[in-house]
Structure 1
């Protein structure tokens, strides 16, 4: 296995991750029923987000915190939802990649989830 080094790797990671997410009993409905995402729009945004985070190529424009606060107003995001998201993310990475960037992808996701959980819980 190799590390995450380019946009194609990001695309593989995001695609493999969302294949699991949409069928997951705990969090899948957020993507398929609560929001009913337009996947042709959402997935490229996720590519850009993670390319910006992991490869320092500033292609993402947006406010993920605001999106998740709005989501939680539709259906409450609870701690176990964040935990499940992280479990799937980490498993996807470990199934496809190894190396410093792969480890960074896991640690950055944990930081993002922690901040997002805090913001969602304290949105008022």
Structure 2
């Protein structure tokens, strides 16, 4: 059995991101939402995700921007974020073990919860 190591560099980030989004694209529940929104722009999206996670986990400041606005109008609900998190956790746990892997899962969980909250907030505000 191979002993898993922690996330330590950009190559690890790329492995995590590529593996995760490969599963997302094929997922019957959330895959169609991602594939419709991203279309043929997967390479650009993946590059952005490499920079995002590199900034968060490795403190290499290669990402700038606001991650929420592109997600604001997505047709998603809490169960979509739960599935996203399930895939992210499974992927991370299958590839890595250590403090940064745990940090990645915590950051992903916090982001999913915050995005879900904000999307619900904006939907309810628009109904008024």
Task: Indicate whether the TM-score tops 0.5.
Answer: yes
* Map of 1:46 onto structure 2: 49
5+ long unaligned stretches in structure 2: none
Q: For residues 18 and 27 of structure 1, what CA distance do their matches in structure 2 show?
A: 11
* Map of 2:110 onto structure 1: 111
Structure of larger gyration radius: 2
Contact 1:3 1:100 in 2 (8 A): yes
Q: For residues 101 and 15 of structure 1, what CA distance do their matches in structure 2 show?
A: 17
TM-score when normalising by structure 1: 0.92
Question: How far off is 1:37 after superposition?
Answer: 4.7
Contact 2:57 2:104 in 1 (8 A): yes
* Map of 1:12 onto structure 2: 15
Question: How far off is 1:93 after superposition?
Answer: 0.4
Over the aligned positions, Cα root-mean-square deviation in angstroms equals 1.1
1:33 aligns with 2:33: no
Question: How far off is 1:44 after superposition?
Answer: 0.4
Runs of 4+ that moved beyond 6 A: none
5+ long unaligned stretches in structure 1: none
TM-score when normalising by structure 2: 0.89
